[in-house]
Homo-oligomer: A and B are copies of this chain.
Amino acid sequence: MTKNLKELARDIKLFSVNLASSAESLRNEALSAVKAALWADREVIYNENRIDLEAGSQSGLPDPILKRLRFDEAKLQSVLDGIDELIALPDPLGRLLLRREMDTDLTLERITCPIGVIGVIFESRPDALVQIATLCLKSGNCALMKGGSEAMHTNRILYRIIFEAACSCGIDPHFLTLLESRSQIDELLDCEGSIDLLIPRGSNEFVSYIMDHTKIPVMGHASGVCHVYVGPSANVSQMVPVVLDSKLQYVVVCNAAETLLVHESIAPVFLPALLEGLGDQELEIRGDVKAAQIIPCTPAADEDFGSEFADRILAVKIVSSTKEAIDHINRYGSAHTDAILTEDPAEAATFFSLVDSASVMHNCSTRFADGFRYGFGAEVGISTGKLHARGPVGLEGLTTYKYLVHGKGQIVAPYSSGKKKFHFRDL
Residue numbers of A with Cβ under 8 A of B are 13-14, 16-18, 20-21, 100, 102, 106, 108, 115-116, 196-197, 211-212, 215, 217, 219, 235, 238-239, 241-242, 244-246, 249-250, 326-327, 330-331, 348, 352-365, 367-369, 373-375, 385-388, 390-392, 400-413, 415-416, 422, 424
| Complex-state Cα separation, A375 to B101, whole angstroms | 10
| Complex-state Cα separation, A403 to B371, whole angstroms | 11
| Complex-state Cα separation, A23 to B403, whole angstroms | 32
- Given known contacts A115-B386, A331-B14, A359-B402, A410 and B106 CB-to-CB distance under 8 angstroms: no
Residue on B with the closest CB to A217? B387
Complex contact A354–B409 (CB within 8 A): no
Can you list 13 A-B pairs with a CB-CB distance of less than 8 A?
A: A14-B331, A20-B354, A21-B354, A116-B386, A217-B217, A241-B411, A246-B411, A249-B411, A364-B409, A365-B412, A367-B412, A368-B412, A390-B401
Residue on B with the closest CB to A411? B245
On chain B, the residues within 8 Å of A362 by CB distance are 404-407
Give the distance to chain B from A117, nearest Cβ to Cβ, in Å: 10
On chain B, the residues within 8 Å of A404 by CB distance are 352, 359-362
Complex contact A387–B17 (CB within 8 A): no
On chain B, the residues within 8 Å of A215 by CB distance are 211-212
| Complex-state Cα separation, A390 to B422, whole angstroms | 22
- Given known contacts A364-B106, A368-B102, A406-B363, A116 and B356 CB-to-CB distance under 8 angstroms: yes
Taking A249-B412, A359-B403, A363-B409 as given, write out 18 further A-B residue pairs in contact, using a Cβ cutoff of 8 Å, ordered by the A residue number. Answer: A20-B353, A100-B374, A102-B368, A106-B364, A115-B387, A217-B385, A217-B387, A239-B409, A241-B409, A242-B409, A249-B416, A359-B402, A362-B405, A364-B409, A365-B412, A373-B412, A390-B400, A392-B403
On chain B, the residues within 8 Å of A363 by CB distance are 406-410
Give the distance to chain B from A294, nearest Cβ to Cβ, in Å: 23
On chain B, the residues within 8 Å of A406 by CB distance are 348, 362-364
Those 3 A-B pairs whose CB atoms lie nearest each other, nearest first: A364-B407, A245-B411, A375-B424
| Complex-state Cα separation, A364 to B242, whole angstroms | 59
On chain B, the residues within 8 Å of A412 by CB distance are 245, 249-250, 365, 367-368, 373
| Complex-state Cα separation, A330 to B416, whole angstroms | 29
Of residues A196, A360, A386, which shows the largest number of chain B Cβ atoms within 10 Å of its Cβ? A386
Give the distance to chain B from A32, nearest Cβ to Cβ, in Å: 22
Give the distance to chain B from A189, nearest Cβ to Cβ, in Å: 14
Give the distance to chain B from A272, nearest Cβ to Cβ, in Å: 19
| Complex-state Cα separation, A385 to B195, whole angstroms | 11
| Complex-state Cα separation, A235 to B410, whole angstroms | 13
On chain B, the residues within 8 Å of A235 by CB distance are 409
On chain B, the residues within 8 Å of A405 by CB distance are 359-362, 364, 368-369
On chain B, the residues within 8 Å of A331 by CB distance are 14
Residue on B with the closest CB to A364? B407
Partner of A17, one of B354, B367, B368: B354
Residue on B with the closest CB to A196? B386
On chain B, the residues within 8 Å of A353 by CB distance are 17, 20-21
Complex contact B422–A360 (CB within 8 A): no
On chain B, the residues within 8 Å of A21 by CB distance are 353-354
| Complex-state Cα separation, A137 to B385, whole angstroms | 21
| Complex-state Cα separation, A242 to B408, whole angstroms | 10
Complex contact B354–A411 (CB within 8 A): no
On chain B, the residues within 8 Å of A359 by CB distance are 402-405
Of residues A196, A249, A400, which shows the largest number of chain B Cβ atoms within 10 Å of its Cβ? A400
On chain B, the residues within 8 Å of A330 by CB distance are 13-14, 17
| Complex-state Cα separation, A400 to B352, whole angstroms | 15
Give the distance to chain B from A180, nearest Cβ to Cβ, in Å: 27
